[in-house]
Structure 1
Amino acid sequence: MQKKLFSGIIPPLITSFDKQGNIDEKTMRNLTRWLANHVQGFYPCGTYGSGPLLTTEERKLVARIVNEEKGNAFAIIHVGAATTTEAIDLAKHAEEIGSDAIGAIPPYYYHYTQEQLVDHYKALIDAVKIPVFLYNNPDLSNNPVAPQTLSVLADYGLAGVKDSAFDLVSFYNYKLAVTRPDFQFIIGTEAIAAGALDVGACGVIAGLANCFPEFMTDFYKTWKAGDPLETGKKQLAVVKARNIIKMAQTLTMIYAILKMRGINPGYPRSPFKDISKETYDKARKMIDEQGILA
């Protein structure tokens, strides 16, 4: 049986909250439906999705919403947690509601050995039949996954990796370590997307795709067309656009830019707050000057 390929542009979907900090289900459904017209997949409940700020039940609610509203797109539900027990609970729920795959950051806060990380991911792989992706984000997990560890897990049945180390050399070393032909590499940032795609990444989990999905999909189509010069130009344009969301906390900037576009994303959850009017006006001017939406 041919394995599903998780390719294309995949927003790490933000979560919609109301002013009181509750999940705004209606708003989130509308946002997911809008994005589904422009992207190939979703990665909810992760970093951009405010995953660490959600309760277990809220994460399950978000997973259900995405699965019900994703249209023809696929959903890789992030189930990473501080404990193996909670990660397995979320993984089983994701499978039960028909998710296409799951992803998981290493257990965080404490530092773990590579052997302990292997045991954690083996337990996740054993718990479900759907594909399991490892989400490498050493800055947030405090637990970098070594290339040899990834190779061991690939041999055990890990489906792929979402690499958010923001380091092409690190990504290349993952590629060198894992030789299984059907192992899927997804780059976890738009900042170095072209370089990763050129060596075999199948998809891009791009925070920018939350607010500029058309822009990111255009970049991906250009790369697929095999025009390296034009792809290079668009990669630089992507980085330039990314600099806008780096003007403040990237998560809060995503909500603000969606509002600029006339799309209701809800509100970020406390302790995050809306950006200042000064930053909002500056970002809007930069977007107009760069012609991102032209």
Structure 2
Amino acid sequence: MTVLKGIIPPIITPMNEDESINEPELRRQVNRLIEAGVHGLFPFGTNGEGYILTEKEKERVLSIVIQETDGRVPVYAGSGCIGTKDTIRMCRMAESLGADVLSVITPWFAKASDEELYEHYCAVAKAVKIPVVLYNIPARTGNSLSPALVERLSEVDNIAGAKDSSGSFDNMLQYLERTRGKDFTVLSGNDSLIYWNLLAGGGGGIAGCANVYPGTMTAIYERFMQGDLEGAREAQDSIRSFRDCFKYGNPNTIVKTAVAMLGYPVGKCRAPFDRISPEGLEAIRRVIDENREAGME
């Protein structure tokens, strides 16, 4: 079974001016991130605009990422849908293409009880053979995976871990406490908490900022594993100025805009999530210039 660990970027989906997928640039981003030392790739996550891609586009993006990765790092496929039946279909599609891990976000829009979520994830895990990672991001979905529910789900065959994007360190700590001693990995979905996740016994993070600074983000994990806690903390702290730019708009849009400013033709996010104020654009440029001078990459 794939070991869940390290820094896994939710790789952005490059687009042309007409919002079609820029396939050559997607391949370039795959190689750029792997060459920087990332430990996995996560197509059509939140930063990959999975919420706005069609199923055919998701299948094409995943095929390209798997082909270009060529086994160098595990590929995590974001395959959650609102309904259980649709989620199983997407998970089986990803598995058939050669994905290594499935990231299954909670259903959204309609409120689900813990028992409904439990049955949903059990059905998904039973339908596939590759590991399933629970994805908790209640601010976006309206449904939350409670620590008690994660503990129950950690006992289910094929459910191998959880990504917590709640933004609550205490919530992530409870995931870790309730699953300690089990073959279950907790990953931070908040880039600011990766170092603290590792200190508490977690496996690393699925980090949107790794699209912008893959070397710096990878250094958090690598330095930590080498016992260089001060160096890992320095790498963690160094992304603060860029994270502060998130106040200017949708974080996905900020990340994609920053990658474009670094010189990669990744295009904009799909409308209507494609606008940043002039003030925001200037702030991002200033931070990128400052971080470039500081040697961040």
Asked if Structure 1 and Structure 2 have the same fold, meaning a TM-score greater than 0.5 normalized by the shorter chain, the answer is yes
Corresponding residue for residue 135 of structure 1: 135
Question: Which secondary structure state, in structure 1, belongs to the residue aligned with residue 143 of structure 2?
Answer: coil
| 1:229 Cα deviation from its structure 2 partner | 3.0
| 1:279 Cα deviation from its structure 2 partner | 3.0
Alpha-carbon deviations, 1:191-248, whole Å to 9, x = none? 1111111111112111100111111112222222223333333322222332234433
Deviates more, 1:50-59 or 1:272-281: 272-281
Question: Which secondary structure state, in structure 2, belongs to the residue aligned with residue 103 of structure 1?
Answer: strand
Corresponding residue for residue 169 of structure 1: 170
Task: Say if 1:104 and 1:23 are closer, same or farther in 2 by CA, change over 3 A.
Answer: same
Mapped to 2, the partners of 1:55 and 1:16 lie a distance apart of 15
Mapped to 2, the partners of 1:236 and 1:262 lie a distance apart of 24
Contact 2:103-2:134 within 8 A present in 1 as well = yes
Mapped to 2, the partners of 1:7 and 1:289 lie a distance apart of 30
1:88 corresponds to which letter in structure 2? I
Question: Which secondary structure state, in structure 2, belongs to the residue aligned with residue 263 of structure 1?
Answer: coil
1:24 corresponds to which letter in structure 2? N
TM-score by length of 1: 0.93
Instruction: State the identity as a percent.
Output: 32
Structural mapping, 1:10-159, within 5 Å: 10-38=8-36, 39-71=38-70, 72-157=72-157, 158-159=159-160
Corresponding residue for residue 248 of structure 2: 247
Mapped to 2, the partners of 1:145 and 1:40 lie a distance apart of 25
Q: Which ranges in structure 1 are unaligned for 5 or more consecutive residues? A: none
Q: Which ranges in structure 2 are unaligned for 5 or more consecutive residues? A: none
Contact 1:193-1:204 within 8 A present in 2 as well = yes
1:26 corresponds to which letter in structure 2? P
1:42 corresponds to which letter in structure 2? L
2:58 corresponds to which letter in structure 1? R
Question: Which secondary structure state, in structure 2, belongs to the residue aligned with residue 195 of structure 1?
Answer: helix
Question: Which secondary structure state, in structure 2, belongs to the residue aligned with residue 9 of structure 1?
Answer: strand
Alpha-carbon deviations, 1:97-142, whole Å to 9, x = none? 1111101111110001100001100111011000001001111111
Question: Which secondary structure state, in structure 2, belongs to the residue aligned with residue 41 of structure 1?
Answer: coil
| 1:276 Cα deviation from its structure 2 partner | 4.5
Mapped to 2, the partners of 1:282 and 1:147 lie a distance apart of 37
2:68 corresponds to which letter in structure 1? E
Structural mapping, 1:209-288, within 5 Å: 209-288=210-289
Mapped to 2, the partners of 1:124 and 1:239 lie a distance apart of 37
Mapped to 2, the partners of 1:276 and 1:95 lie a distance apart of 40
Give the CA RMSD over aligned residues.
1.7
Count of residue pairs the alignment pairs up:
292
Aligned: 1:183 with 2:184: yes
| 1:6 Cα deviation from its structure 2 partner | 1.9
Task: Say if 1:249 and 1:292 are closer, same or farther in 2 by CA, change over 3 A.
Answer: farther
Mapped to 1, the partners of 2:160 and 2:294 lie a distance apart of 34
TM-score by length of 2: 0.92
**After the TM superposition, which segments of 4 or more aligned residues of structure 1 sit over 6 Å from their partners?**
none
Corresponding residue for residue 5 of structure 1: 3
Question: Which secondary structure state, in structure 2, belongs to the residue aligned with residue 216 of structure 1?
Answer: helix
Question: Which secondary structure state, in structure 2, belongs to the residue aligned with residue 111 of structure 1?
Answer: coil
